Amino acid sequence: MSAPLLAVEHLSMRFGGLLAIDDLSFAADDKKITAIIGPNGAGKTTVFNCLTGFYKPTVGRLTLSNGGTHYLERMEGFRIARAGVARTFQNIRLFPAMSVLENLIVAQHNELMDASFFSLAGLFGLARYRRAEEKAVELARFWLDRMGLIDVADRAAGELPYGDQRRLEIARAMCNKPALLCLDEPAAGLNPRESADLNVMLREIRDRHGIGLLLIEHDMNVVMEISDHIVVLDYGRKIADGTPQAVRNDPAVIRAYLGDDDDDDDGVIVDGAGARGP
């Protein structure tokens, strides 16, 4: 059996006295959508931040097997991105003053830097750089087309409506050519139709581009419909791990969401209350 695309082993993250993640282990595979769910404050985004190098895990090993083997817990954020992990953010982080197209070109920064010898070739207008830039624009055009953003390509990213910004952020992450795409609540703030489109798109990314997706999501409609594998967190600990069907019927999960007494108001989530406002 070959190593999974991403293996998380015994990951713990401590902030002072708070143990945000407690000995978490799971794996995410190629061509699979893995969802991490859990009530608010369960540590989902912290897992993402550890994976993408924004936090240094207190304990644990994060192994990305993408051709080579990368130990993400030792790497700086930008090197993790180069190793093949792209992410989106819970509260969208675009480059608002730059145009939509520029956002997608920036995502291909490293390839363009290599093609232009750290921009020198571009300074002297060498053909080598021009070709690389054309290729980058082609890839951007593909994703703009796919996301229905081709008409607004030259507008500033910050001017776009909310749903477009969400899609642009996914397009930008895909232009980074990742092996693992981490999406932090991609359906947040989308209306039901946009959310359904998102499902189709995420499945297509999985099937056509053959990459692994790691998803944090509150919208149970999205999660149950498209996930191949779900990891449930509660207070930083894994309480369930399995197929959507298995997770849905897991008593520990039901307890975490509905609570065995009235200390939790996250019950709305389990029946898919749908879109959370931004």
Among residues 107 and 198, whose Cβ is nearest to other proteins?
Answer: 107
Among residues 181 and 275, whose Cβ is nearest to other proteins?
Answer: 181
What are the φ and ψ backbone dihedral angles of 10, each rounded to 5 degrees? 50, 45
What are the φ and ψ backbone dihedral angles of 59, each rounded to 5 degrees? -140, 155
Please give the torsion angle defined by the CA atoms of residues 155, 161, 166 and 167, in that order, rounded to the nearest 10 degrees. Answer: -60
Which of 14, 31, 32, 82 is the binder for other proteins (CB under 8 A)? 82
Which of 141, 146, 209, 248 is the binder for other proteins (CB under 8 A)? 141
Site string for other proteins, 215-244 (x = CB under 8 A): ------------------------------
The distance in angstroms from the start CA to the end CA of the chain is 42
Binders of other proteins among residues 87 to 126 (CB under 8 A) are: 87, 89, 93-99, 101-102, 105-107, 109-110, 112-113, 116, 118-119, 122-123, 125
Among residues 129 and 257, whose Cβ is nearest to other proteins?
Answer: 129
Site string for other proteins, 23-52 (x = CB under 8 A): -----------------------------x
Distance of alpha carbon 148 from alpha carbon 217, whole angstroms = 23
Which of 6, 33, 62, 144 is the binder for other proteins (CB under 8 A)? 144
Distance of alpha carbon 55 from alpha carbon 49, whole angstroms = 6
Give the bridge partners for 176, in sequence order.
none
Sign of CA dihedral 213, 240, 62, 168: positive
Smallest gap from Cβ 275 to other proteins, in A, equals: 23
Smallest gap from Cβ 36 to other proteins, in A, equals: 18
Pairing relationship of beta strands 33-37 and 212-216 according to DSSP bridges: parallel
Among residues 126 and 254, whose Cβ is nearest to other proteins?
Answer: 126
Closest CA relative to residue 186, chosen from 173, 136, 248, 129: 173
Residue 151 makes CB contacts below 8 A (sequence gap 6+) with none
**Is residue 162 within the footprint of other proteins (CB under 8 A)?**
no
Among residues 20 and 105, whose Cβ is nearest to other proteins?
Answer: 105
Smallest gap from Cβ 55 to other proteins, in A, equals: 12
Closest CA relative to residue 7, chosen from 72, 68, 78: 72
Contact, 226 vs 203, CB < 8 A? yes
Contact, 21 vs 236, CB < 8 A? yes
Among residues 35 and 149, whose Cβ is nearest to other proteins?
Answer: 149
User: What does DSSP assign to residue 67?
Assistant: S
Tokens of 168: 């642009």
Smallest gap from Cβ 232 to other proteins, in A, equals: 25
Binding site for other proteins (CB under 8 A): 52-54, 77-79, 81-82, 86-87, 89, 93-99, 101-102, 105-107, 109-110, 112-113, 116, 118-119, 122-123, 125, 129, 133, 137, 140-141, 144, 150, 153-154, 156, 172-173, 176
